[in-house]
Amino acid sequence: MSVESARARTLSHVDPAEVPLQAALDALADPVRRSILRDLAVHDDWTRACGTFDLPVKKATASHHFSVLRAAGLIEQRDEGARRLNRLRRPEFDTAFPGLLSATIDRAD
């Protein structure tokens, strides 16, 4: 039938403007999450699925990190078949927290 091929598994996205500073900082304070964000900053297209990241954690943990990033308004996710694609919400987040993203992920360490 496929009334709508977009099952989308009920993905809830929040407006970065509604995200408390505490939540944003908690999300950015984790090195694994920053690693994800840096990767997404480079690949600004919708090409990175959750499983394509080279992370030092198991997939259950990675899934948790993506959930935190989404709840903090830092990433947007979209289902494409079995894969879940990610995008860095840089413009929206920059509007809500000017300078925070750049100060956090534009760095060597």
Partner DNA sequence: CATGGTGTTCGATCCCTGTCGTACAGTGGT
Partner DNA sequence: ACCACTGTACGACAGGGATCGAACACCATG
Binding site for its own copies (CB under 8 A): 20-22, 25-26, 28-29, 31, 97-100, 102-104, 107, 109
Residue 92: alpha-carbon gap to chain centroid: 12
Cα torsion for 32, 36, 86, 44, to the nearest 10°?
Answer: 170
| C-alpha–C-alpha distance, residues 102 and 88, integer Å | 12
Least spacing, CB of residue 58 vs DNA, in Å: 4
70 vs 98, which CB is nearer to DNA? Answer: 70
> Interface with DNA includes 24 (CB under 7 A)?
no
52 vs 95, which CB is nearer to its own copies? Answer: 95
Q: Which does 57 bind (CB under 5 to 8 A by kind): DNA, its own copies, none?
A: DNA
Q: DSSP letters along 45-91, please?
A: SS-EEGGGS--SS-HHHHHHHHHHHHHTTSEEEEEETTEEEEEE-HH
Residues lying near DNA in the complex (CB under 7 A): 7, 9, 26, 29-30, 32, 49-52, 56-68, 77, 79, 81-84
